[in-house]
A and B are shown apart, each in its own frame.
Chain A
Amino acid sequence: MKQSTQNVSRLLHRRQMRVSDTVQSVPPSGIRRFFDLANELEDVISLGVGEPDFVTPWHIRESCIHALEQGHTSYTSNQGLPELREEIAGTFRRDHSLHYDPNEEILITTGVSEGIDLAMRAILNRGDEVIISEPCYVSYVPTVIFAGGVPVTVATSIENDFKVTAERIEEKITEKTRAIMINYPNNPTGATMGKKDLEEIADVATEYDLIVISDEIYDKLTYDGKHTCFSSLNGMITNTVLFNGFSKSHAMTGLRVGYALGSSDIIGAMTKIHQYSMLCAPSTSQIAAIDALRNGRAEMERMVREYDRRRHLIINGFNKIGLDCFWGKGAFYAFPSIAGTGMTADEFAERLMLEKRVAVVPGNVFGDSGAGFLRCSYAASRDDIKEALARIGEFVESTDDGIA
């Protein structure tokens, strides 16, 4: 009897040991719980999705079908199809006057998320620190941890339009700091940063010799003003690892294709990891991406114009309800404050889901500085946005305190 108890406890201990300490140290995504909740309910209107509600434009889907008919289903080179890399190089030459060598400075990845993982593993030694502006996309912090690094978050706030400042970054720099990670236009706030704001970050990066990881997946979704590509700032082309892709601009989330641009040493190191793990991005998706770049501008611009209308609709809508909403100029997220209701964002989002069947994501999921806000995607139809706003309005009225 005693022996078997010992066996059980040894077994339990071994079970725990099977998952690495590193992975155990990362909590599951805060979004998971809401996802499960939403799945159990019917008639849910979702403003909880970080993907376009448009289906991939037909010309792109048609190019996938053609590729399949032609039998293009084999591996491509590890770095990705040469035509796609050349097309990307051409785009950056035309749009930003930036010259990237398609053979050494461009890597096609299975979406930006894979690319960021590769970059972290390529540049970080154990214990190196990465400064991450926050609130931020849920993958950044875990990705740094999985790569053996230490994430150091810098809070941004509504007082500064959710822009990260050079000052706040500088405060966090230590001798361990290797990189700064930014994402503008931003998920979840919708914030953008102008050229001047970014130049200050570039100056800090130069002064302390830091790499800048710039996730610009939402660059095409900039509504007021013009997006500034971080690599285009003075001297930054060699210090920046730039990420972009097709998921948001061309409604291609499930096709999983993105790219990384940077100097050959870092792109080379990332390619090494990529070739031993992913091998190559899906071939059909790479062919779709070529078509998106060659023929996709008109459809993309049509979608962006429609997002801009919905942006006005939803932000005006929140402000009318009495939930102060920041005028984000990019991405497709509204980020209203619910501080006046006296509820936490978690409470608000959960009750809203259960009582009114509207799915939104509490801002604290994206970091502590997102507490008190909701991330509401306006990549939803106008009718859904109107109905969701009506339900949220009813919900706010129904709460005991109303808005303080």
Chain B
Amino acid sequence: MDLAQNILEIIENDPKIDISEIASLTGSSDEEIRDCVRQLEGDGTICKYKTIIDWDKVDNGFVYAIIEITVSLERETGYNVVADRISKFPEVRSVRLISGDHDISLTVRGKSMKQVAFFVAEKIATLPQVQSTATHFVLKTYKEDGVILHETEHAERLPIVA
């Protein structure tokens, strides 16, 4: 496998891993790994090192909602203008252009359902290109970005087998 791809797969699952361990996993030198990571960071392939948190375990956690938006397109500017504008709100955690009944899907985070609902009503629904919004509050997250949050599976193995 290509070294950069190998590093990306390792780091995506474990951003805290240190350079020397990546080196020993890939059979490369520390220097090679450092150079490669630096390049991937520099060209924007690695955008950010993030953590998956189960906010339900925290008092005063967050409320999440998925918002589906239908937009009217202006000539020539396409979806990008409205998507960029929506992306600038810190309450908005993700913005995706989607196929199907709606055009854009957002994830919005707030401190309460009321706060999220008012944010959508005041800041998103009022944008001139937005024709309609549909808000779906998240009641429980089972799996986030490939990670099962309440894993119950524990497969037992015999310690020694031929």
* A, B: real partners: yes
A-side residues, CB < 8 A to B, are: 29, 31, 34-35, 38-39, 44, 46, 48-51, 53, 55, 137-139, 305, 308-310, 312-313, 316-317, 359, 361, 365, 382
Q: Are A53 and B25 in contact (CB under 8 A)?
A: no
Q: Which of B76-84, B128-136, B151-159 contacts its partner?
A: B151-159
- How many whole Å from A336's CB to the nearest CB in chain B? 16
CB-based nearest B residue for A327: B27
Chain B 47-86 near chain A by CB (<8 Å), digits 1 or 0: 0000000000000000000000000000000000000000
Q: Are A361 and B1 in contact (CB under 8 A)?
A: no
Which residues of chain B come closer than 8 Å to A31, judged between CB atoms? Answer: 160-162
Which residues of chain A come closer than 8 Å to B25, judged between CB atoms? Answer: 309-310, 312-313, 382
Query: B162: which of A50, A53, A309, A317 is its contact (CB, 8 Å)?
Result: A50
Q: Are B160 and A361 in contact (CB under 8 A)?
A: yes
Knowing A53-B157, A305-B6, A305-B9, the reply to whether A139 touches B24 (Cβ < 8 A) is no
B141 lies within 8 A of chain A by Cβ: no
Q: Are A305 and B153 in contact (CB under 8 A)?
A: no
- How many whole Å from A271's CB to the nearest CB in chain B? 27
B115 lies within 8 A of chain A by Cβ: no
Q: Are A49 and B24 in contact (CB under 8 A)?
A: no
B-side residues, CB < 8 A to A, are: 1, 6, 9-10, 24-27, 153, 155, 157-162
Q: Which of A139, A308, A310, A317 has the most CB atoms of chain B within a 10 A radius of its CB?
A: A308
- Report the Cα distance A34→B159, complex, angstroms: 9
Q: Which of B24, B157, B161, B162 has the most CB atoms of chain A within a 10 A radius of its CB?
A: B162
Query: A49: which of B6, B153, B158 is its contact (CB, 8 Å)?
Result: B158
The 9 closest A-B pairs by CB, nearest first: A48-B160, A309-B25, A38-B159, A46-B159, A312-B27, A35-B160, A138-B162, A55-B155, A31-B162
Q: Are A359 and B160 in contact (CB under 8 A)?
A: yes
- Report the Cα distance A18→B138, complex, angstroms: 68
Q: Are A313 and B24 in contact (CB under 8 A)?
A: yes
CB-based nearest A residue for B155: A55
- Report the Cα distance A46→B158, complex, angstroms: 9
Which residues of chain A come closer than 8 Å to B6, judged between CB atoms? Answer: 305, 309
Query: A38: which of B9, B10, B160, B162 is its contact (CB, 8 Å)?
Result: B160
Q: Are A312 and B160 in contact (CB under 8 A)?
A: no
- Report the Cα distance A31→B9, complex, angstroms: 36
Which residues of chain A come closer than 8 Å to B27, judged between CB atoms? Answer: 312, 316
Q: Are A48 and B159 in contact (CB under 8 A)?
A: yes
How many A-B contacts if CB must be within 8 Å?
A: 58
Which residues of chain A come closer than 8 Å to B162, judged between CB atoms? Answer: 29, 31, 50, 137-139, 361, 365
Q: Are B24 and A316 in contact (CB under 8 A)?
A: yes
Which residues of chain A come closer than 8 Å to B1, judged between CB atoms? Answer: 305, 308
Query: B10: which of A48, A51, A53, A309 is its contact (CB, 8 Å)?
Result: A309
Q: Are B159 and A359 in contact (CB under 8 A)?
A: yes
Knowing A313-B24, A316-B24, the reply to whether A51 touches B161 (Cβ < 8 A) is yes
- Report the Cα distance A50→B159, complex, angstroms: 10
- Report the Cα distance A305→B8, complex, angstroms: 12
Q: Are B159 and A39 in contact (CB under 8 A)?
A: yes
Q: Are B161 and A50 in contact (CB under 8 A)?
A: yes
Q: Are A44 and B155 in contact (CB under 8 A)?
A: no
- Report the Cα distance A192→B31, complex, angstroms: 30
CB-based nearest A residue for B1: A305
- Report the Cα distance A59→B15, complex, angstroms: 28
Supply 23 A–B pairs (Cβ within 8 Å), ascending by A: A29-B162, A31-B162, A38-B159, A46-B157, A48-B159, A48-B161, A49-B157, A49-B158, A49-B161, A51-B161, A55-B153, A55-B155, A138-B162, A305-B1, A309-B6, A309-B10, A310-B25, A312-B26, A312-B27, A317-B24, A359-B159, A361-B162, A382-B25
- How many whole Å from A298's CB to the nearest CB in chain B? 13
Which residues of chain B come closer than 8 Å to A53, judged between CB atoms? Answer: 157
Query: B159: which of A35, A55, A308 is its contact (CB, 8 Å)?
Result: A35
CB-based nearest A residue for B5: A305
- Report the Cα distance A51→B161, complex, angstroms: 8
- Report the Cα distance A188→B24, complex, angstroms: 23
- Report the Cα distance A51→B1, complex, angstroms: 24
Knowing A305-B1, A312-B24, A312-B26, the reply to whether A49 touches B159 (Cβ < 8 A) is yes
CB-based nearest B residue for A314: B24
- Report the Cα distance A50→B153, complex, angstroms: 21
Knowing A137-B162, A305-B9, A309-B10, the reply to whether A51 touches B24 (Cβ < 8 A) is no
- How many whole Å from A251's CB to the nearest CB in chain B? 10
CB-based nearest B residue for A316: B24
Which residues of chain A come closer than 8 Å to B24, judged between CB atoms? Answer: 312-313, 316-317
Query: B160: which of A46, A137, A308, A382 is its contact (CB, 8 Å)?
Result: A46
- How many whole Å from A391's CB to the nearest CB in chain B? 15
Which residues of chain A come closer than 8 Å to B26, judged between CB atoms? Answer: 309, 312
Q: Are A51 and B157 in contact (CB under 8 A)?
A: yes
Which residues of chain B come closer than 8 Å to A312, judged between CB atoms? Answer: 24-27
CB-based nearest A residue for B162: A138
